[in-house]
Amino acid sequence: MRLKDKVIIVTGSCTGIGKAMAKRFVTEGAKVVIHGLEADLGAQVIEELGAENATLHIEDLTTEGAPERLVELAVKSFGKLDAVVNNAAMVVASNIHTTDLAFFRKMMEVNTVAPFALIKAALSQLRATRGAVLNIGSVNAWSGEPNLLPYSISKGALMTLTRNLGDTLMREDHVRVNQINPGWVLTENEAQRKKEHGLPEDWYTHVPRVYAPAGRILWPDEIAVAAVYWLADESGPISGQVVDLEQHPFIGRNPPKDSSTIPVSGKQ
């Protein structure tokens, strides 16, 4: 088991990619702290994983003291902390015309500042275990889509945070910091967004090949499997790296506007 006896906080793990990662980590021998905003869904995850393997914390990460409480829960429940996975994020479509300053600040607070705050709160514990941080970004970090302006900026900032701390913390604290940038992933929230856009239930079965060369988009479990490597000892001293997880080269692709009737504004 590649994560045997490791204790891992996974933010935003009541649903979607976070939930898939938490389940995979437990399968690989880890203990996990499940976090999110949906108490009922979180309780279901705990029931599925078993109370001996997981504990739950429901709180908005931008609340004062929330990062510290997450770290305290991990140590109180399992005796230490080996890794933090910053997965929780706001994904809301908006552009230069529909984004006001309050919304922009909120997006940055949730998607960039909160991960920084959790890393800072966890650092003494991670230093003690020579642990790891894995930030979950997005391929949109590189430039993003027109209707994902503040989201894309927040993920770009997260990527710079990863590069910077990946160097600094490895040198000073022997703590690795890396990031994976998922592409288009079929999560529960993505399915709901597309339903709200008026698409049929089976929209994901006929995504145009220009967006999905494989004939489908990614599954949360495929991101979870990749995440294991960055938290396992087998990744050694590798730090400050950002890896895109998509089925085509995202940078430089400019599909024609009439190439799809499926909006992609919900991309991870």
The SS3 of residue 139 is helix
Catalytic annotation present for 151: yes
Rounded to whole angstroms, what are the CA distances from 198 to 139, 172, 201, 207, 262? 25, 51, 9, 15, 10
Query: What distance in Å separates the CA atoms of residue 199 and residue 12, rounded to the nearest whole number?
Result: 26
- How far is C-alpha 242 from the chain's CA centre? 13
List, edge to edge, every strand of the sheet that includes 132-136.
54-58, 31-36, 7-10, 83-86, 132-136, 176-182, 242-245
Residues present in the chain in total: 268
Residue from 151, 204, 211, 229 carrying the catalytic annotation: 151
Residue 35 and residue 70 in contact, taking contact as beta carbons nearer than 8 Å: yes
Ranges of beta strands (E only) in 169-245 are 176-182, 242-245
Close Cβ partners of 186 (under 8 Å, ≥ 6 residues apart): 204, 216, 217, 218, 219, 220
Would you name the residues annotated as active-site residues?
151
